[in-house]
Amino acid sequence: MDKVRIRGIEAYGYHGVYAEERALGQTLVVDVEVGCELRQAGLSDDIHDSISYVDLVKMVKEVVSETQFQLLEAIAETIAARVLDVPRAQNVVVRVEKPRAPIPHLTGTVSIEIVRQKG
């Protein structure tokens, strides 16, 4: 299956289990990979036969910036559901990363990844 892949969508939101995270907010980084048929887009050279990168980025930014969740899993599920509403989308992989999670001794990032498909 063909794919539209976007890596490194940064958006600021107020998410987390701890009240401080929800009050101060933080930047999350989201990757989206959408399985779809792209042959017609390749032949027609018409954006209407593809899935718009711009629309996907806007969708992710809206979920992260305009909603509030405790868990990264809930953010990923919401993004996946919105992406699968796009007519050409057949499946989606969503990874949500929290670069500066407030966990003692953690110098890296935490992330979750989900895979969902239509139906």
Residues designated catalytic = 98
- Which residue in this structure is represented by tokens 């990032």? 109
Degrees to nearest 5, angle at CA 19 with 76 and 71: 15
Distances in whole angstroms, Cα of residue 98 to Cα of each of 11, 46, 108: 11, 35, 9
Cα–Cα dist 59/66, whole Å? 10
The single-letter DSSP state of residue 4 is E
H helices of the chain, in order, are: 19-24, 39-44, 53-66, 72-84
Cα–Cα dist 59/9, whole Å? 11
